[in-house]
Structure formats: structure tokens, C-alpha cells
Structure 1
């Protein structure tokens, strides 16, 4: 209670003091709220810009990938046409002056069929650049033509729409025989250009290429004409597209060619010499934000909390998606780690040696089983050439096979189990069975080999071979006497026999013939295994040898009502082989084809030439080879019940002998067969004389 002596001014000041404190506290609270609100607003604005940057870059990468895919597909289709053997042969006939009129007419006839592959125009030229045939209409005067970094001569054209023009040389045996030129519409690239307008009124996708110190750009949704630009804006800022053409990928807020402030994502289009930018004016991009802010400022003191909640409400779906994406990424990473652990456990516990190499033969993976097999630790071989695991004579051959495959994409060793020799750390040579497969990891070609030590199996095979050899030699002499005696009796030398006796003697004679064939095959196997088979390797005309083999087996084909069709693409080809052994191989293949062909069927024999090799193929129209039997088809005494139920006999040694003979003569043998579609066996030898 104030004293009666207290002055009135002091009493009034005491009453106003709490109000001043409240006012200061309120002002401070408002200032703090403003600072916090402003800070939060700008933090969220930066966060929104980051999300926008990621969104624009992701959208741009999708368009870049789409463009690369479409350009690559157009180039690959043209290159595929340029490598067609029949087309190259026809153009080569024109180059040599052989029946030019007929060949040109044939090329004019087939040229329009290529338009069905997606081309708008195609033209074929001889080696002198003279046009032989064309279809469709080429662009005569493009508004813009940009060369692309593809093999050959490739241009990206603009003539109211995007076109890809490709010129590829046709090469045969290392020489140019002609040229293919095509044009292809690029609807996906055009669609990516037009879709940029969905970003907003100022949304724009730019596609440019360097032009000296300037840039040449294709039309966009904001500028309908071809543009030649400086790489800097009028304000001196480096244009975003200039970053892309320097090989950079990123996001920037800068001035564009219109001197407008833009938010832009930029990236190079592969290694093609193109850059791409996806952008939108900053004014349009942030217009909704500033429009909301203009209304919020007058009400900031009263609606600050509501504004923050609204901002949070607008961003929360995006935040939730990001959190969900992050959780999915963590889950995927955990799954990948589990898969890696499982794969590592599998590799560490399998009995077979597993060796993974790069495309040039550098070892990248060497599992524990391989360490036990070769007596090397993994760190001793990883980073070195896989040929170190091979004996000296085969190391150079391996590098040659690998280089030839990388050059031609053609190999008979992939996906096939084969036997060869290997070398341990201490120099010990031992036999292995190996199967090599090809795979791609992150776009890089790699090879993986599954290796098994077959030393014990070889010992057992040697014992079996020695046993068979002894038995075969012991059987041969009495069997020859039995065959001779039965032949004399069957010929009537022992007097006239009854019909029943004749039938029995004939059956006995035929079975002695089969037994004689079996003994002969067994002896051949023994000679091959012990390396006692002699080979008279001389150059021979392949066509004549094949015709002789067909004539020799034609009566056998007539027994089954099966005919022959022989076609050769290399009638003058010479090969260095043993003529008798080659005839034995071809007889085995032709007799098998006859036996598995349907009545009134045809066995097709074809000779082709590629990459210095002459390949003879024998194809039947039979039931094919079951998948489960294909891995054993070249093994000795190999029979498969459902596969052989229609055969008229056989020792199961013919294909094994054929494989051994072909390989001893320096050739290769393989097959291509699917159950129900017939079988084709291939025998290949190097051209003689070998190409330099």
C-alpha cells in the first residue's frame, strides 16, 4: 500500500512498468519469431531448390539416355546391314564387273525392304562411291548438320525434325567393297525436346554442339530457328550448355542466351560431341513462392505460425517420399550386402576352381578351390594374365584366341566344356576340364572359367583304353576268320542251304560286320588316345573331298529315302588335312544325319568362309538333340535312350573319333541343336595357304 507521502508521478510509473516489460518482451518475441521464421523459410527454400536441382538433373539424364539409345540404335541398324555377307557378295560382284545389270536390279528390289527396319531412306554404293540402289528420300538441304563421334560418317540433321544420317563402309576380308548410307527419324529425341514445355511456359530443352569458338544449337520450344551462339551471355556469364560441352554434368542458376536468369541442369550426350541443357526461367520457377510471400508479409505477425505450417504442409509429401526412398535404398543396400555375402560363401565353398578375368585376360577373382588347384594364393595371381596358369606352348595361343575373339566376336570356346592342360605353381602339368562363359558387369566385358581337375578321370580312361586295346587286338584275328567263314557259307561255297539256314547265316554275317566295325572303332580310339595315329597332312580342294564323301554314302541314304543338297560359298577353297581321315569324319556326320532324318528328308551340306577359316556344316531335319544330352555327345559310347530309339545301330564312338581326328588335324568341331528342330554339325579348318 503506497504511503500517503508517495508522489503521484512515482505511482504512475510503477503501474506502467509491467506494461513496458510486456511490450519489450512482445517486441523481442516478435523479432525472434521473425528471425526464426525467416531463417526457416530460407532454409526450406534452399532445400526446395536442392530438390528442384535433383529433379531437373534426373529428368535431363533420362532425356540424355533416351537420345543416346535412339542414336545408338539407328547406327547399329545401319552397321548390321553393312555386315550382311550376301549383300557384300552382291556388291563385290558389281566391283568385279560380273553381271552388273542383274545384281543392280536385285539390289534395287531388296532396298525398299530395309525401310521396314525404321529407316526413312537407304542407299547402297560400290567401292568407287557409285550408287547402286536406293529407297526412300534423303534430306537434300538440312537446316543444321552436326557430325557425331561414331565410327564412320554420322550426322545429326535438323529439317523440321531430327534425323540421323549414317554412312558405313562395307568391309570384306580387310578391304572396303562398298558403302551403306541411311537416314532415320528420331521421334524419341523430338519428343524429349517438345516435352520440355511441360515444365512451364519457359521450360526449354537445348541440344548444341561446338562450332569453333561458338555454339550451334537446334531449335527449341522457345526459339523455332537454328541458333549460332556465343558460349557466354551478354553479362559475361558462361552459358550452362558450355559446361555440358566441356564434359561437365551439374546444375546452375545463371543467365541464358536470352539474358534471362534460369535454373538449368546440364550434361554431355555421351562422347558424341553434343551437350544438353534442361532449364526454366527463375522468375517462373519462384513465382508461386513470391506470390504467396507477398500475401503473407502483411499478415506475418498474426499468421507466422500458420505460414510455417503451410510451408511444412506443402513440403511434407516430398519429405515423406525422400524418407521412403532413403529407407528403400538402405533396404536395397542391406539386400545387396546379403547377396554379396551369400555369393562369397558360395565361391569359397564350391569344389570347382572359379577364375574371373577382364576382357584382356587379367585375373580379377581366384576362389579358394582355384588356390588349392594351382597352389597359388589369390594375391599372387590377381592382376596378372591368366596365361600364367597354362603350360608354355599354350600361353601365346591363348592371347591370340582372345584377341581374335575381341576383334570378331566369334568363338567356339565359350559355353562349351573342353579338356586342356594347366600348370601349377611348381611347374607340374595336369589335365583339367574348363568351361568359359562371358558376362558384363557395369558395362564392362568379363569372362568366368569353371575349372575341374580330371587327373583321376584321365587315369581311369587310360586304364580303360589299354583294356579295350588288348581286347580289340585279341578279337580282331578270330573275328576276321569268322567273317570269312560266314561269307563263304553265305555265298554257297559249303553247299546249298535251306531258306531257314540261309536267314540264320545272313544274320550272323551282318552281326559279324557290326562287331568288326566296333573293333575297328575301338582300335582307332586306342591309336588316337596313345597318339599312334598317323596323319598325311597335305593341301586338298575341299569341294572335291566333300563330293566324294557324298557319292560314297549316297546308297546308304537311298536305303532311308534321304537325299543330299550340297552348296558351297568357296568352291576353290584349299585346306591342309589328311584326306582319308577327313572322309572318315564326314562319313560319320553324314551317316548320323541320314539315320535321324525323316523319310524323304534332305541332308544339307554347306561350305562357308569367314576370318581365314573354311567351315563345312551338315544339317538334318530330325528330332534334334535333347539339352540334357548335348554336354555328353562327344564322349565315347555316349547314347541317350529317347535320342537313339530310332537308330539302326551304332557303337557310340563315331562322334568321339570325329572330334579327335578334327582336332588332331588342327581343326574345330561343334554343333548347334535344339530338340525338335534338327541338328547341325560344323567342322572348320584354316584356309590354305593361311592368310598373312
Structure 2
């Protein structure tokens, strides 16, 4: 109990004449009596003993009924900047930004009513913002549990760990990863430029005529527009089976004795600009026909990968002499740029034996596309063009 001081006229008046007590005086009395009756709490009273001062994590204990701090270990002083004398007796909300404090009040009320809370019931520490004595915002990991004294008083035990530096390290790691991706993109762009220049040089060295030079100029102009983002693409869901068969049908007149074998699944939905993708495939097939000798085979294989990617592979047998350039056809490199603008890719490989392989990839479509052509197909249909 708290004794009434002789000079305390406010308290004396409330004792002698309760009928004159107003709301403000009642609140003052409640606050004063609460301060007087809250006896100091020791770590041993809650069964945590010497561990309280030796833990490296900040440990803060508060009364559940008032939310006021009763125990404050050295690690908490180091983390938040308040000494134990400054912290004990104050509301735990002094460690919270105001938005978090509002959530805390609602959560405390819910816990006192139901015995359940988001942080208390969590299986792992919860990351959240906190505020130091100097007003700095930090990131912490918080674990909450309830303790009881020998007299049955209820307390909240908060174990707090500073994760600000870890978050900064994660941010730095993310920035480094982004820098590596950017560097990879730049290196890829430089490599693409070198390959394009090699193809242009090979085309010019092949004693190209006026028509070939005109086509070369048009291809370079298209490449420039693509790199500048001036070409609009209209991506939609499409069945690549239809696109492949239409392109191979058109290649029949240019086959000149070469056998064109086509293998496709029943359906291969992809997201792409159908007309632009067909242009790239026409260029790939034209290059394969030009590369393959007479009486050789050109294999076109379409498949849907488990990564929801549609992949088209065109393989052409080479001559007896392996070629030293990746194919002197600038249009192929323009096609690669077109495929990348559609979140796909196009790769060109020449084996040591001179065989050509072009691989095109496109993102799969989650929705079944409309069939553009009405023609029956089997699951693995081979077509020979001669």
C-alpha cells in the first residue's frame, strides 16, 4: 500500500470527500496508486536467474496488464540506448514506431481476451521495425512468450535480435546480383555485336551482288530498329505446331532434293507474335536449306519442355568441309533479336563436322490457343519435302 503524505491535499480530499472526486482526479489516483503498488521485479522471481544478464540478445520483460517494462538486460541497453533505470517503469511502446504501437495495442487486447496472438503463436521470430532512443529506425526479430511469477502475475518476455546489418547485407547481395546480371547482359550484347559484324564481313567478302547488298542493308536497318525498341510486337497465344507446318510447307519449293523431316507434338501452345515468329522460322529454314548439301536431311523438331518453354530445333547436315563462320547470314542475327524481344532466344551452332543447328525457344502459353490451320496431325508426324 501507499501511505498518504501529509501535504497531499488532493489525495486527502478524495479520501475525506469522495463525492467531490472528478474524473481527472480518479485517473491521477489510479496512476499514482498503480505506481506505488508495482513492486520491483527481479529475474529470479521469474525463474530466469543469471541468464538474464548474460544473454547476447536483448531481453525485455513487461507486465501484461500495464505494458510497462519491469526488467531490461544489458543487451537491450546496447541495442536501444536506454539504461535500465531509464527503461524500467516506462511503456514498451517507447520502442515502437507509432503505426506498430497501434497494432501492438490491438494485439495485446486480443491476447488478454483470447490467449492468442500473432507473434506469441508464431513458430519462428517475427521481423518488424523498432525505434532506438536516438529516434533511429532499426529492423529486429522478435519472439514473445508469457511468464508467471510465484504470485501468479503475468508478464511478457520479449527476446529481440538486431537484424539491421543482415538486411543491409541482403540488400548489398541483391545489388551485386543485379550488377552481375547487368554485366552478363552487356557482355552478351557485345558478343552479339561481334557475331553480327562477323556475319556482315563474311557477306561482304562473298562477292555479293546488288540484290545481296540491298538485302544486307535492309537487315541491318531492321536490326537497328529492334535494338532501339521501334518495332512493335503483338504477342498472343498461338499453337507453334501450326506455325511450323505452315513454314515447312512454304519451304517445299526451295528444298531442291533435300529431305525435310518434321516432328511435332499434338499441340505446342506458346506466347509470341505469330507473324514475326514465322518470319524468323522462314529465315532459319532458308539458312538450313542453303547450308545442307543435296540429298542430305534437315530435321525440324518441336517440343514442349517441362519448364513451360516451347523449343524448336532445326538441324542441317553439313558438307565435307566444316565451315569456320557461324553462318554468313545477317538475317539470323536479326531473328535472334526478334526472339529475345518475345522473352525467347535463338542460338546458332556449327559442329566440327559442319552440321548446322539452330535452336529457337519461346515461353509457353497457359491458355490453349486457337488453331489457325485446320489440318489433322498425329503426335509425332514426319514430313518429307523433296
- Normalising by structure 2, report the TM-score: 0.42
- Of Structure 1 and Structure 2, which has the larger fraction of its residues in helix? 1
- Largest Rg, 1 or 2: 1
- Normalising by structure 1, report the TM-score: 0.24
Higher RCO, 1 vs 2 (CA within 8 Å, ≥6 residues apart): 2
